[in-house]
Amino acid sequence: MKIEIESGDWKKLEHPASRVRLMVFVAEQKVPKEEEIDDLDPVSTHFVAWDERHMTLGCARLTPDGHIGRLAVLRPFRARGVGAALLEAVLAEARKRGLPEAVLHAQTHARGFYERYGFAAEGNEFDECGIPHIRMRLAL
């Protein structure tokens, strides 16, 4: 499967990114919609993964202060390199901006995924929207 990553602002990518986030976080994981779509969306850079037929596969965002978040892949496309392609694109953008580090709140089941990219866990697990998370950081 060929994966292409498009980046842009919320106005440009709101429809495909919000569709993925609503399906993964709200429908699957039961995150309240009002907590999923937030005030950081209009000021963040968004990333959408597409396949060769321009089908939406997943999304992520990078906030102005270097927080990576809302990385989600639709169920049929998981474990096929989509999350990796998204994370690599977000990290490339963070480095291009000259950010000193990237920070994220990883769902604990995804901790190993981020550790493979050099992220290190900090502190104790915490609850975010009813889901266990761990703060992770990567020097860029």
pLDDT in tens, 90-126: 999 999 999 999 999 999 999 999 999 999 999 999 9
pTM of the model: 0.95
* Strand intervals (E) in 2-130: 4-8, 45-50, 56-62, 67-73, 101-107, 120-128
What mean pLDDT is predicted for residues 16-21? 97
For 50-83, what is each residue's pLDDT tens digit?
A: 999 999 999 999 999 999 999 999 999 999 999 9
**Helix/strand/coil for 123:** strand
Token pair 């694109």: residue = 89
- Whether residue 2 is predicted with pLDDT greater than 90 in this model: the reply is yes
